[in-house]
Amino acid sequence: MVLNRVRAVFFDLDNTLIDTAGASRKGMLEVIKLLQSKYHYKEEAETICDKVQVKLSKECFHPSSTCITDLRTLHWEEAIQETKGGAANRKLAEECYFLWKSTRLQHMILAEDVKAMLTELRKEVRLLLLTNGDRQTQREKIEACACQSYFDAIVVGGEQKEEKPAPSIFYYCCDLLGVQPGDCVMVGDTLETDIQGGLNAGLKATVWINKNGIMPLKSSPMPHYIVSSVLELPSLLQNIDCTVSMSA
């Protein structure tokens, strides 16, 4: 009998299971087309989208004080005003935001090979989706990529007291599945949240999805394993279990 085998895998969503960054880029391209064709903007269209991208990357969202729709519409409003000058144009900002958002959601797809991998894995271990972010935004993505049926449980950081990398959200996930932290593996693309969180909570292993082959900073948390695609996970899990079996 193998002692302490992997019993559960926690997956991040964005840029781990779905290509959120690619979907966002497609959304921006649609907005550029709109601004150029309907409003006759030239290079300002790209400048506006670049500014919004920066605002999104620095976004601080507090659900108690605003809603995500208002906040993100404001990103567009500010970017347009910073680029074009003049009075704020809320109507155009809303048009840009909703076009970007709807295009982005259309391209948030769970690929067939990822679906097949999740289906096979779930025959052996319990699967949980653990995603940080605003409740509305993340639930819309989950709905768009139709991933609910592949998981035993789904946990959205914005619905909890704390998000990754806080250990509490990982313990909550363990309780949901009836497992111990030492039974679980965390898989994600972000060292500061997915990997640091898994380490903080004392999970059996952390797996970093490093699609671009970048070298982490020396100060970054060190994952137990690094893969370039989530599809490498099944063979890696077998190795983790074999290692456990040998040491047992």
The CATH number of residue 167's host domain is: 3.40.50.1000
10 and 68, same domain (yes or no) = no
Residue 166: how many other CB atoms lie within 10 Å: 18
Distance between CA atoms of residues 47 and 202, nearest Å: 44
**What is the extent of the structural domain holding 49?**
19-105
Answer with the one of 68, 90, 105 that is the final residue of a domain. Answer: 105
What pLDDT is recorded for position 244? 55
11 and 38, same domain (yes or no) = no
What pLDDT is recorded for position 65? 85
Measured in whole angstroms, how far is the alpha carbon of residue 236 from the centre of its chain? 21
How many CA atoms are closer than 13 Å to the CA of 217, on its beta-carbon side?
A: 5
Is 196 within a domain? yes
71 and 127, same domain (yes or no) = no
140 and 80, same domain (yes or no) = no
Answer with the one of 105, 136, 160 that is the final residue of a domain. Answer: 105
Each of the 248 residues of the chain gets a pLDDT tens digit; together they read: 345 799 999 999 999 999 999 999 999 999 999 999 999 999 999 999 999 999 999 998 888 888 999 999 999 999 999 999 999 999 999 999 999 999 999 999 999 999 999 999 999 999 999 999 999 999 999 999 999 999 999 999 999 999 999 999 999 999 999 999 999 999 999 999 999 999 999 999 999 999 998 888 889 999 999 999 999 999 999 988 776 555 44
76 and 135, same domain (yes or no) = no
Is 28 within a domain? yes
Answer with the one of 86, 105, 124 that is the final residue of a domain. Answer: 105
73 and 125, same domain (yes or no) = no
133 and 235, same domain (yes or no) = yes
What six digits make up the tokens of 149?
Answer: 């049926």
What pLDDT is recorded for position 243? 67
What pLDDT is recorded for position 245? 52
b/e burial code for range 40-69 (CB count within 10 A of at least 16 → b): ebeebbbbbbebbeebeeeeeeeeeeeebe
Is 246 within a domain? no
Domain count, the chain: 2
pTM: 0.93
**Burial of 18: CB neighbours in 10 Å, binned 0-12, 13-18, 19+:** buried
Residues 6+ apart with CB under 8 A from 187: 9, 10, 11, 12, 16, 194, 206, 207, 209, 230, 233
